[in-house]
Amino acid sequence: MAATVIKAEKLPEIQLEYMKLIAEIMEIRKRGETPLAYIRTYGCQQNVADSEKIKGMLKQSGFDFTDTPDDADFILFNTCAVREHAEDRVFGNVGALKNLKRKHPQILIALCGCMMEQEHIANRIYNSFPFVGLVFGTHSLQHFPELMYNSLVNGKRVFERGNDDNKLYEGFPVRRDGDFKGWLPIMYGCNNFCTYCIVPYVRGRERSRDRDIILGEARQIIEQGYKDITLLGQNVNSYGKTLEQPVSFAQLLSEIDSMDGDYWLRFMTSHPKDCSKELIDVIANGAHISKHLHLPFQSGSDRILKAMNRHYDRKKYLDIIRYAKEKIDGLSLTSDIIVGFPGETYEDFKETLSLIREVEFTSLFTFIYSPRKGTPAAEMDDPIPAAEKSKWFQELLDVQEEIAAKRCSSMVGQTERVLIESVKEKTGELNARTSGNIIVELPGKADLIGTFQNVKITKARNWILKGELI
Ligand code: 5AD
Ligand code: SF4
């Protein structure tokens, strides 16, 4: 696919003006009381980062945030289209807002994100959910203040898709959800067109953010005290190819890693076809980079990988893994797998099982194939019944449970540096995570949340570790 060079531009003044206008409208409507927004995010981390941008714009428009839709003036669901199940949840949850809108007709209910970029979904919302006042797809996020203003002043339903005028705007106000976990998008979109995947259709072509802007943002969040920073993109390994001055992802990662501070640096997601030895060397030598590689392989069968249009085979995948294990001490590997791709046989599936046995992943994100309208795989013959696919899926979970338990037991007695993340409601214990992304539960006080601690691993329970502060 031809590379599209998209130059970053400043967020247009006009959008900043719209934020001011929204603030004025809400001030009058609420008679000086702070308006509240309820934002619910479905799907991947890219969506979480998009919601943080939307929250930044809402904050600048005078809004504060609430955890319940009941007292909100503005309700927004940022949706995910990657599997049917995610879409069904959105439809169910939107339906449940009908009564709220009846009780409080002044609420503005909005939907955005990947689902809304699909015409058939936007039409269904338009026809079946008349109380939804604003709908915009991922490409229209850069115009959000203008769209929201229009629906507030005109009182008419605003539906917008596919309008990104092929530009990448910078300078959005961002309101981060956490105090110590930070998401940093480095690129948007995807050019890979894996045959099962809707993402290239709803998020458009690959656009890399400017290197200096990313470095500036990284420096800022490190200085603000963020401890766990994740660089985001659908395929971070192809970062920088479309920039005027091309730069590799390995170079970018290494430049961020050289910044002073006490933090972990991660990235998501890597595509095996572009995962370079240079990148693995940077991870191996990094001062802050987590010894963790999330490298989705999707299927262990070459026949299925070809049908998925993945551009690597089992051997190439295992070669990268071998190199990475050799170079990176204590490497933790995770992956995504699809079970029941059209035409997959039990023999193909067994190749997936043998691959996970060979690699010994720390954990897996496993999915049953879900046909997505408009993708090539949705047109392929899919003769295996759902009940059969579910059996394979369960077999995969059982094998991985064994592997994870073995990996976790081998860590008992070791000392691990962990980041304390939260308190477990039920037991009052602390939840922490290792640099390899393994959960550790330990006794301790809530004021440790957001700090790094050294912990002795005392027990392993399946894929969760128990530990004690040292
Ligand atoms: N069905 C099932 N899983 C899917 N994924 C993407 N598209 C589909 C689909 N149509 C999974 C892939 C990807 C992860 C984010 O979601 O494993 O890596
Ligand atoms: Fe989807 Fe493949 Fe792009 Fe990942 S690399 S977003 S699976 S098309």
**The pTM is what?**
0.94
Closest CA to 318 of 371, 361, 355, 293: 355
Which of 192, 236, 309, 335 is the best mutation target for the ligand 2 pocket, counting ligand atoms within 8 Å of the beta carbon and taking the most? 192
Task: Give residue 164's pLDDT.
Answer: 64
Distance of CA 198 from the midpoint of ligand 1 (Å): 9
Query: Percent of the chain, pLDDT > 70?
Result: 97
For residue 65, give both structure tokens. Answer: 């945030």
- 353-393, pLDDT tens digit by residue? 999 999 999 999 999 999 999 999 999 999 999 999 999 99
Structurally, the chain folds into a number of domains equal to 4
Banded pLDDT at 463 (limits 50, 70, 90): confident
What is the torsional sign of CA 174, 180, 186, 187? Answer: negative
Asked if residue 282 lies in contact with residue 252, where contact means CB atoms within 8 angstroms, the answer is no
394 domain residue, yes or no: yes
Helix axes of 13-29 and 144-154: crossing angle, nearest 10 degrees? 40
Q: Which of 410, 433, 448 is the last residue of a domain?
A: 410
H or E element, residue 217: helix 211-223
Residues 231, 189 within the same domain: yes
| Class of residue 93 by CB neighbours under 10 A (exposed 0-12, middle 13-18, buried 19+) | middle
Residues 281, 364 within the same domain: no
- 35-45, pLDDT tens digit by residue? 999 999 999 99
Banded pLDDT at 311 (limits 50, 70, 90): very high
Closest CA to 438 of 403, 464, 467: 464
For residue 333, give both structure tokens. Answer: 């590997």
Asked if residue 263 lies in contact with residue 435, where contact means CB atoms within 8 angstroms, the answer is no
Which of 117, 191, 198, 199 is the best mutation target for the ligand 2 pocket, counting ligand atoms within 8 Å of the beta carbon and taking the most? 199
CATH number, residue 223: 3.30.750.210
- 57-97, pLDDT tens digit by residue? 999 999 999 999 999 999 999 999 999 999 999 999 999 99
Which residue owns the Cα nearest ligand 2 atom 1?
197
Residues 401, 429 within the same domain: no
Q: Which of 394, 410, 426 is the last residue of a domain?
A: 410
pLDDT at 251 over 90: yes
- 191-221, pLDDT tens digit by residue? 999 999 999 999 999 999 999 999 999 999 9
CATH number, residue 373: 3.30.750.200
Residues 238, 194 within the same domain: yes
- 231-245, pLDDT tens digit by residue? 999 999 999 988 989
Which residues constitute the domain of residue 360?
Answer: 293-312+328-410
Banded pLDDT at 166 (limits 50, 70, 90): low
| Class of residue 446 by CB neighbours under 10 A (exposed 0-12, middle 13-18, buried 19+) | exposed
Ligand 1 proximity of 328 Cβ (cutoff 6 Å):
no
For residue 87, give both structure tokens. Answer: 């879409």
Among all ligands shown, which has an atom nearest to the Cα of 195? 2
- In single-letter form, the type of residue at position 363 comes to S
Residues 208, 245 within the same domain: yes
